[in-house]
Each structure stands twice: as structure tokens, then as C-alpha cells.
Structure 1
Amino acid sequence: MQDTILIIEDDESILEAIQMILEAEGYHVMSSNSGEILQQFVDEFPNLLIIDEYLPFERGSEICKRIKLQEETANTPVLLLSGHAKIAEIAQKCGADGYIEKPFNLLSFIEIIDQHLKVSQ
């Protein structure tokens, strides 16, 4: 079965680029510009989430905290995405499984995704 990755990113060009990269790697990708999309997942949650830290109405780290506090989603890998100088610290404080710094190296980006999906299986 194909892994599903959810990307929450408000910058349309970054969102499209990440989606194209991951689809080319064989992943099923869903995307949104806000955390509200999480409300639609009832029975099956994505295998991995990539969440931008700076969304218009909420921080990615706050979304991550909510995901990690719920028993049914606590083990889902969450990666924060940001150009913030302290993204590693922010990711650690909210319980994220990792982070991706903007701008990112394509090969490193794919390695991080693959690594977190293998660990979660």
C-alpha cells in the first residue's frame, strides 16, 4: 500500500514543489494551506505530516502538539518545515519527530521523508 503524506503549507509555490517531488518518489500526497484539513480524517490518518511553522492562522508547532496529544495520532510522524533559525528547538518543544529547514536540499529532503516513514512502519 502506498504511503500517504499530508503537507500543510500556505505558500502555494512551495506546496506545489513539495507535492511534485513526493509524487515523483511514489508517495500519495494530500495538501492544504491550513490545519483545518485534519478535521476530515476520521478513519484513516496520513502516514506522515509535513507542516509549515508559519501558517496564517496558527503555528505548525501548535498543530503538532494537538496531533501528538491524541492517542490515535500520537505515533504519526510530524515534520515541521521552516526557515526559522530555531526550527530545531521549536520542533523539539512541540514533540515533532523532526524538521526540514527552508531552503532544503532535494536529496536530504527525500532522505528525511523516507527515514521517518520507515521508522513509523
Structure 2
Amino acid sequence: MKRIMIFDDDVDILEILTYLLKEKGWEVHTRTTCNNIIKVVSENNPDIILMDNWIPDTGGIKATQTLKNHPEFARVPVIYFSANNDIEKLAAEAGSDAFLAKPFDLDELERIINQF
């Protein structure tokens, strides 16, 4: 079973995505902050990560950069997602592998996830 980790401070989004992705056969792990991100990711060993831009405490850019600069997690795909108008620019600054603008539909999310 493929494992996905979602970092988002919006509990409603986490609940919806957890339900939808579990229906698609994913094992889903969620966090509302980026505290101890290396430790949290290493404990869950995800195949892919969804990272919100506006997540406490370090923010999505710094959290993604931390993961991408870590030898163990540099190859784990990170999909940056946000309602911010500059999502493409923010995703590039973060060093993510892809981006997804909020609001998004499930088909678009599934298409991006399946790329990896």
C-alpha cells in the first residue's frame, strides 16, 4: 500500500483528503504543523508528501527545503499546495516536485499524485 503524508493546518482539508485518499487505497498520515519534520517523516516513511504553504511553524517553503536537503528524503516527491496566487513561484522557491492550487478537484489531485 502506498503511503502519503499531508501537512496542512486546515483540519477540514485533512479530514476530506484522508477520506478520499483512503478510498483510493492510500495509507494516509497527517500533521497540522511542521514541527520536527525530519523525525515525523522518518517515522511515517511516505512515498509522497502534500505540503501546504501556510503551515505552522516553519512554513511550507522552509519545511520542503529541509526535506529536499536531507539525504534520506530528497527523492520523496513533494507536492506543494496552497490557495496563494503565487503558488507556482512559491513551489519553485520551496524546491517541490509539483504544485496544486487550492481549491482543487480530486481528479486533478489524483493525476498529479499518479505522476510520481
TM, length-normalised to structure 1: 0.88
CA 62–28 in structure 1, closer or farther in 2 if over 3 Å, else same: same
| Cα shift at 1:59 | 1.3
The residue type equivalent to 2:110 in the other structure is: I
CA 43–18 in structure 1, closer or farther in 2 if over 3 Å, else same: closer
The CA distance in 2 between the partners of 1:69 and 1:56, in whole Å, is 20
Whether 2:101 is the aligned partner of 1:97: answer: no
| Cα shift at 1:106 | 1.6
Q: CA-to-partner distance for each residue in 1:37-60, whole Å, 9 max, x for gaps?
A: 631344762111101100132211
CA 44–12 in structure 1, closer or farther in 2 if over 3 Å, else same: closer
Alpha-carbon RMSD: 1.5
Bigger mean CA offset, 43-52 vs 73-82: 43-52
What's 2:46 paired with? 46
Identity of aligned residues (%): 27
Segments of 4+ moved more than 6 angstroms: none
The CA distance in 2 between the partners of 1:55 and 1:106, in whole Å, is 21
What's 1:3 paired with? 2
What's 1:66 paired with? 66
Structure 2 SS opposite 1:70: coil
Q: CA-to-partner distance for each residue in 1:23-47, whole Å, 9 max, x for gaps?
A: 1110100011011263134476211
The count of corresponding residues between Structure 1 and Structure 2 is 115
Bigger mean CA offset, 7-16 vs 40-49: 40-49
What's 1:119 paired with? none
What's 2:106 paired with? 106
TM, length-normalised to structure 2: 0.91
Gaps of 5+ in 1: 117-121
CA 32–70 in structure 1, closer or farther in 2 if over 3 Å, else same: same
Question: Would you say the 8 A contact 2:35–2:58 is kept in 1?
Answer: no
The CA distance in 2 between the partners of 1:96 and 1:60, in whole Å, is 10
The CA distance in 1 between the partners of 2:18 and 2:36, in whole Å, is 16
